[in-house]
Amino acid sequence: MKKPILLLIFCVLLFSPALAADVSGDWQVEDNSAHIRIAICNGALWGIVGWEKSPGTDSENPDPAKRTRPTLGMPILINMKPVDGRSWSGQIYNAQNGKTYKATVTALSDNAIKVQGCVAWGLLCGGETWSRVPSSPSGRRVDFCSRISVPGATH
């Protein structure tokens, strides 16, 4: 009788979504130039530019039609799938050079995440640690899931 109960408890703990790190919210990038708003949309992690110190445009985008779009509201963490309870894997778009990279996001704590992008089959990687931005008093978050682009689309 003890073994089935222990197995049930183990399975509940193993597969419980409550154990997953909650990275939804606003995150300050390392150089303090922007806040990235992260949300889980249809089971995938997405992040958009939610605030920027200086307004910018996507001037380096390989698609000439997108080079005048504002970076504010633009997706940069793209269709990241859960790897485990504290990590996601997908793509990151770098508006500074117009390139998209394979990327991971890892929760280091409730208030810090590591964002890492890689090239050359993961041999060359770079990243930074982002800090959680304290919630506004109302705790209001803008829902952007309905506005994100289709997975696999060029950013």
Q: What is the mean pLDDT of residues 87-93?
A: 96
pLDDT of residue 144: 80
pLDDT of residue 17: 43
pLDDT tens digits, 14-53: 444 445 689 999 999 999 999 999 999 989 999 999 999 9
Q: Which CATH architecture has domain 21-133?
A: Beta Barrel (2.40)
Among 71-75, 96-100, 124-128, 132-136, which is the least confidently predicted range? Answer: 132-136
Tokens of 109: 């704590």
pLDDT of residue 2: 55
Band (110; pLDDT cuts 50, 70, 90) = very high
Residue 149 is classified by DSSP as: P
Alpha helix ranges (H) inside the chain: 2-15
pLDDT beyond 50 at 84: yes
Backbone angles phi, psi at 4, to 5 degrees: -60, -35
Q: How far apart are CA 116 and CA 91, in angstroms?
A: 10
Per domain, the residue ranges of the chain are 21-133
Q: What is the mean pLDDT of residues 113-136?
A: 87
Greatest distance between any 2 Cα atoms in the chain: 66
61 in helix, strand or coil? Answer: coil
